[in-house]
Structure 1
Amino acid sequence: MARALGLVAAGACVLALVLAWVSYRLIRDFVRMWTELKPVPSIGVAYPVLGHALQLKTRAGEFFSQVIQFTNDFRDAPLLMAWIGPIPFLFLYHSETVETVLNNSVHMDKAYSYKFLHPWLGTGLLTSTGNKWRSRRKLLTPTFHFSILADFLEVMNEQAEVLVDKLDTCVGKGPFNCFNHITLCALDIICETAMGKKIYAQSNSDSEYVRAVYRMSDLISRRQRMPWYWPEFAFQYFGDGKEHDRCLKILHSFTESVIREREEYGVNHVESDSESDQAKKKRRAFLDLLLKTMDEDGNKMTHQDIREEVDTFMFEGHDTTAAGMNWAIHLLGAHPDIQRKVQQELDEVFGESDRPISTEDLKKLRYLECVIKEALRIFPSVPFFARSICEDTKINGYNVPKGVNVIILAYALHRDPRFFPEPEEFRPERFLPENTSGRNPYCYIPFSAGLRNCIGQRFALMEEKVILASILRSFDVVSRQKRDELKPLGELVLRPEQGIWITLERRRR
């Protein structure tokens, strides 16, 4: 008995020493960061432990508006600091400071808040770091070759036709919110191109999988904004942990079933040159490419590897593109002169024909591409993203210690008047070749920049061109909201608080 008590006492002593050591390390690191970052301009008075938490709004829309107002107030500040509790966040929104981080192979790690994506996405291309990210990026880059993307054009045309038919029922019926229509179209496109699976989201928006995709995105965004739910036990017992797990099961079950289905099809239907021209081959998808992909040692990707990447492209590949198209529709509907220029270009390319859009057509839609890029400047689909500083460094002359979270605010960066005079004005001509020559490439980063830029950006631009061209070939669009009524919500994706309200009329040529 005495021996047992002695062991318990010894264990308690060891535990107390470990806790004391951990506490010491945490306090030491906090004091070091607090001291080194003190010279950096901050959003106000920061208090130990609480930081600036008492000054910050808690609602998503209000918090985003507040942060953007800080960047306006401190437009000329070299850097801007905020402490969220004991964690320092450095806001970057000048091209020279952004380049320091994005163009450096050392600072490749995503910030802490990305860990909440791991249960759904694992450590795929979006969330992985180090050697895993490098090898995975090298492995996946060939799957986004232009010749492969061209195979996806047929899917985009088919789903654009479904969307146009749905929008046609709204003609002449007054204002309506087009946000969900376009988002479901984008979801249909990514499902078929990524997984080779039709989910008919435009026809059945109430499907279990569709609901789970949207709900999971909301749950992750909500958790990222609420530090008290960051510990797993707090999220599970006091937050939305049970609903999160329910959605996760639906998403992973669906993806795994599709992977098994495509794998079985690949085994039972080996393509050969002897197939007749009339034989209809199963349409190739991103998933099929992953199933055949091998690394330098001849190893295939595991089922978990494949699921991580398919889930990643399902998450990244529809919401962002859908948001970009919706913002572009609003801006075109609010600027009829620019809309007419786009339609004039479309008429020059297609005439009165209603034929599908080809890759050659896409190359000719240069002004439409300028419109898309300018819409992404004003309303970047991903309004901010975060990195972790991986070693002590200097940014714009200030010492920034290892471990600081850097928030790159694309929304504010794109409004730098040095590069974009009158930045709130919608001027697609900014992106004509003669106007982009010599411009700092880090002043405009809708798809990030540097080594970790978006691997799917050509896919996204192709999809936006096809959908917007299809809509504007058929309809005249009129926006029913003023800019100040949109109230952008800066969450995982930039969305308008009340949607995008428009009216449509059939085009008269």
Structure 2
Amino acid sequence: MGPLPNLNKVNHSLPLTEVFFDSSPARTFDLGLLILKELIVQLLIFHIFSWIVALGIRYYIVQPRSWHTVGTQVHPTEQGLRVLIQLVIQSSEEGLLYTQNLASTYGDVCCWWVGPWHAVIRIFHPTCIKPVLFAPAAIAPKDAVFYSFLKPWLGDGLLLSAGDKWSSHRRMLTPAFHFNILKHYVKIFNDSVNVMHAKWKRLVSEGSTRLDMFEHISLMTLDSLQKCVFSFHSNCQEKPSEYIAAILELSALVAKRHQQIFMHMDFLYYLTPDGQRFRRACRLVHNFTDAVIQERRRTLPDDGVDDFLKAKAKAKTLDFIDVLLLTKDKDGKQLSDEDIRAEADTFMFGGHDTTASGLSWVLYNLAKHPEYQERCRQEVQELLRDREPKEIE
């Protein structure tokens, strides 16, 4: 790409059309790039100006007033409804302290502004949040901001879909959670945990006394999921896996984007290095899932599906993709490849992130409280009675 034209050195005796409309591809590209940069700057100025105006109106003109949250009878005071301006989302430790201060200062409910345009109702009391948590999944409200960042990756799976599509897919996926299918996964879980334990023993023998619990458990859950969803053995706990690295990168990029208010705008985000990394990682993950789906479709029989399922069940090799490929709705319609990919990618994300977080905190607290650790160990030993925990009985 050639340098941008220096207008101070342009021969002003030339017609403007010759100066600005050089027919060479390099000059045309430079001019287009210059216009694009100017457009981005103007849009940023417009958004910043709108932000300042909105903040001013909200701070000096709009007065708090009494109201109640939908589904509750809680009426916050005027102080409790004071508009809070938090320009950045803080890190985990600071964020927890900030949330505790909100609850102690403003009571059960407050309005928390992310920038000038997005209001978040923060609910701290269990009575207030109960109607939301107990709402039927088909009508429960879903995050319109954070979930939109996941959409290019996870598509319209169970996590992000709503209404009739959610209800239909939920019914179609019910067979995937049948006890006879899930019980065969226990051996897979145990094998993955044994690999993780072996790594920990090696670290201890080498003199290590600390480890990043979340990192190790994330790899263990992803290892288990790949086996249960795709019947794919990546050995990601012991060697690098491009697919697993892409999933971890996507999770980190989405969390990072959520903390940067200007990156909430799609057109701006995808111009950044992070946005380009996100797209590359999405392509890699989608290509992997699509390849598994296409390969599995080729192995499915045109008829005799019942015999196929019995053979799979007997061999204990029926996985999530098999169930998705064979399931049908009440009208006999199967899931499309795009729907199957969305559900598989959703379970790879949802099955490792929150699960790893929960397991990490459980193990951390058991390590901090040896008396409870011992009680848990005794309970497990009483249940197993020296048997190998390969299957649930």
Separation in 1, partners of 2:390, 2:330: 37
1:100 corresponds to which of 110, 131, 136: 131
2:196 corresponds to which of 163, 170, 176: 163
The corresponding residue for 2:3 is none
Q: Which one-letter code corresponds to 1:91 in the other structure? A: R
Separation in 2, partners of 1:357, 1:281: 15
Q: How does 1:340-419 map to 2 (within 5 A)?
A: 340-352=374-386, 355-360=388-393
Is 1:246 aligned to 2:280, yes or no?
Answer: yes
SS in 2 for 1:80: strand
Q: CA deviation at 1:271?
A: 7.0
The corresponding residue for 1:290 is 324
Separation in 1, partners of 2:310, 2:256: 53
The corresponding residue for 2:300 is 266
Q: Comparing both structures, which one devotes a greater share of its residues to helix?
A: 2
Give CA-to-partner distance per residue, 1:374-402, whole Å, 9 cap, x none: xxxxxxxxxxxxxxxxxxxxxxxxxxxxx
Where do 5+ consecutive residues of structure 2 fail to align?
1-49, 67-75
* 94-103 vs 294-303, which moves further: 94-103
Is 1:131 aligned to 2:131, yes or no?
Answer: no
Residues 168, 70 of structure 1: CA spacing in aligned structure 2 closer, same or farther, 3 A cutoff? same
SS in 2 for 1:169: helix
SS in 2 for 1:70: helix
8 Å Cα contact 1:43/1:70 also seen in 2: no
SS in 1 for 2:158: coil
Is 1:83 aligned to 2:113, yes or no?
Answer: yes
8 Å Cα contact 2:113/2:119 also seen in 1: yes
Residues 273, 224 of structure 1: CA spacing in aligned structure 2 closer, same or farther, 3 A cutoff? closer
Q: Which one-letter code corresponds to 1:88 in the other structure? A: A
Q: CA deviation at 1:107?
A: 4.4
Is 1:146 aligned to 2:176, yes or no?
Answer: no
Residues 38, 235 of structure 1: CA spacing in aligned structure 2 closer, same or farther, 3 A cutoff? farther
8 Å Cα contact 2:88/2:259 also seen in 1: no
Q: Whose Rg is larger?
A: 2
Separation in 1, partners of 2:308, 2:100: 64
Separation in 2, partners of 1:276, 1:233: 50
Give CA-to-partner distance per residue, 1:460-481, whole Å, 9 cap, x none: xxxxxxxxxxxxxxxxxxxxxx
8 Å Cα contact 2:111/2:121 also seen in 1: yes
Q: Which one-letter code corresponds to 2:104 in the other structure? A: D
1:67 corresponds to which of 89, 94, 98: 98
The corresponding residue for 1:317 is 351
SS in 2 for 1:123: coil
Residues 181, 35 of structure 1: CA spacing in aligned structure 2 closer, same or farther, 3 A cutoff? same
Q: Which one-letter code corresponds to 1:235 in the other structure? A: Y
Give CA-to-partner distance per residue, 1:377-432, whole Å, 9 cap, x none: xxxxxxxxxxxxxxxxxxxxxxxxxxxxxxxxxxxxxxxxxxxxxxxxxxxxxxxx
TM-score, normalised by the number of residues in structure 2? 0.73
Separation in 2, partners of 1:225, 1:259: 34
1:183 corresponds to which of 207, 218, 242: 218
Q: CA deviation at 1:52?
A: 0.6
8 Å Cα contact 1:122/1:308 also seen in 2: yes
Give the share of equivalent positions with the same residue, in percent. Answer: 31
Q: CA deviation at 1:121?
A: 0.5
8 Å Cα contact 2:327/2:335 also seen in 1: yes
Residues 108, 72 of structure 1: CA spacing in aligned structure 2 closer, same or farther, 3 A cutoff? closer
Q: CA deviation at 1:170?
A: 2.7
Q: CA deviation at 1:131?
A: 1.5
SS in 2 for 1:222: helix
Separation in 2, partners of 1:169, 1:269: 50
1:112 corresponds to which of 136, 142, 145: 145
Give CA-to-partner distance per residue, 1:335-379, whole Å, 9 cap, x none: 1111111222233233455x234313xxxxxxxxxxxxxxxxxxx
Q: Which one-letter code corresponds to 1:256 in the other structure? A: D
Separation in 2, partners of 1:287, 1:213: 18
Q: CA deviation at 1:281?
A: 3.5
Separation in 1, partners of 2:379, 2:307: 41
8 Å Cα contact 2:228/2:320 also seen in 1: yes
Q: Which one-letter code corresponds to 1:90 in the other structure? A: I
1:227 corresponds to which of 234, 250, 261: 261
Separation in 2, partners of 1:154, 1:270: 28
Where do 5+ consecutive residues of structure 1 fail to align?
1-22, 361-509
The corresponding residue for 1:447 is none
Aligned-pair RMSD on alpha carbons?
3.2
Aligned residues: 323
* 222-231 vs 265-274, which moves further: 265-274
Residues 202, 274 of structure 1: CA spacing in aligned structure 2 closer, same or farther, 3 A cutoff? closer
* 85-94 vs 290-299, which moves further: 85-94
8 Å Cα contact 1:292/1:300 also seen in 2: yes
Residues 61, 343 of structure 1: CA spacing in aligned structure 2 closer, same or farther, 3 A cutoff? closer
Q: CA deviation at 1:138?
A: 2.1
Residues 268, 57 of structure 1: CA spacing in aligned structure 2 closer, same or farther, 3 A cutoff? same
Separation in 2, partners of 1:90, 1:67: 15
Q: CA deviation at 1:321?
A: 1.1
Q: Which one-letter code corresponds to 1:133 in the other structure? A: W
SS in 1 for 2:119: strand
Q: CA deviation at 1:137?
A: 1.7
Residues 244, 344 of structure 1: CA spacing in aligned structure 2 closer, same or farther, 3 A cutoff? same
8 Å Cα contact 1:195/1:286 also seen in 2: yes
SS in 2 for 1:183: helix
Separation in 2, partners of 1:288, 1:268: 14
TM-score, normalised by the number of residues in structure 1? 0.57
Is 1:216 aligned to 2:250, yes or no?
Answer: yes
Q: Which one-letter code corresponds to 1:218 in the other structure? A: A
Q: Which one-letter code corresponds to 2:391 in the other structure? A: S
Q: CA deviation at 1:36?
A: 9.1
8 Å Cα contact 1:92/1:98 also seen in 2: yes
SS in 2 for 1:81: strand
Give CA-to-partner distance per residue, 1:1-37, whole Å, 9 cap, x none: xxxxxxxxxxxxxxxxxxxxxx9xxx9xx98xx9696
